[in-house]
Each structure stands twice: as structure tokens, then as C-alpha cells.
Amino acid sequence: MNFKRNFAKYWLPLLLWMCFIFWMSTETFSSENTFSWIEMLLRFLAPKISAQEMVFAHVLIRKAAHVTEYFVLGLLLFRTFRGNSALLWNWRWSFFAVIGVALWAASDEFHQSFVSTRTASAVDVSIDTAGGILAQFVAALWYRYRRK
């Protein structure tokens, strides 16, 4: 019973998020497919945006999505490694969370190398890993704040 509860509480959200990231690296979310709906949103918010600004904003939004996806993954990995521990924060949990983020980011880019409308990029692995590192800083600050 305890295993099932711990699995549902810690591992299931992590695995579901990893599946979500995998889904986001399919053709459905390629640059060509996301441009039209991002353009529609940006044209609504800023009707006079130039084509060059539109392309730049599209790239920024996509890179911000990378950081956000892997920020959440970093937090979920930290939470999973922490489990039911009485300690609030331990550097090992953060270290292994960053390793997990980097490995998942690399495997995600490897997956994208097989999708015709996607490209694998070491830069994206770095951006993803930065999101995971940022999550560890936030976790450390959060638990430090909670301790006081």
C-alpha cells in the first residue's frame, strides 16, 4: 500500500511530465506547426508587429518553453528524490535532478533527430539543462525560506 501511494505521489507525476515532454518533441509541436498559432496570438496582442519581430518572438517563446518544461522536470525530479525525507533540502537531490534533466534533454534531442520536421540541437540541451539548474536554485531558496 505504501509503495502504491509513494508511486502515485512522487513517480507518477514525474513519469507523466516526461511523457508530456516526449509528446512536445513530436511533429505536432515543430517550429512550422507552432508558428501559425503563435503568430495569431502575437498579432492579437501586438497588431503592428513586423515579420522580423514575429520570427524573433517565435524563437524566444519556443526557447522559453524549453526552459519551462525542464524547470518543471527539475522540480519534479527533486521532489521524487526527496520523497518522504524529513530533510527539506539536500545537495545530492539537486545534483541528481540536474543529471536527470540533462540526460532527459539529451534523449529528447536524440528523439527529435528521427522526426523529419524537428532538428536535434546541443544548444537546446544546454537551454533545457539551464531550466533544470534554475529549478534547483528555486528549490534550495524555497526550502531555505521554509526553514526560517
From CA 31, how far away is CA 28, in angstroms rounded? 9
Q: Which three cell numbers stand for residue 12?
A: 507518477
Cell output for 59: 524563437
Count Cα neighbours of 70 within 13 Å in the Cβ-side half-sphere: 30
pLDDT, tens only, 103-137: 999 999 999 999 998 989 999 999 999 999 999 99
Tell me what pLDDT residue 148 has: 66
Q: Which residues of 62-89 are buried (b: 16+ CB within 10 A; e: fewer)?
A: beeebbebbbbbbbbbbbbbbeeeeeeb
pLDDT single digits (tens) 55-93? 999 999 999 999 999 999 999 999 999 998 888 889 999
Cα-based distances in Å from 113 to 11, 20, 25, 51, 62: 28, 18, 10, 28, 17
Q: Which pLDDT score, from 0 to 100, does residue 32 have? A: 86
pLDDT band at 3 (very low <50, low <70, confident <90, very high): confident
| Per-residue pLDDT at 4 | 82
Cell reading at 102: 540533462
Considering the chain, what is the average pLDDT of its residues?
Answer: 93
Quickly tell me which residue has 524563437 as its cell. Answer: 59
Closest CA to 80 of 70, 94, 67, 65: 94
pTM of the model: 0.91
CA–CA distance, 75 with 99 (Å, rounded to integer): 13
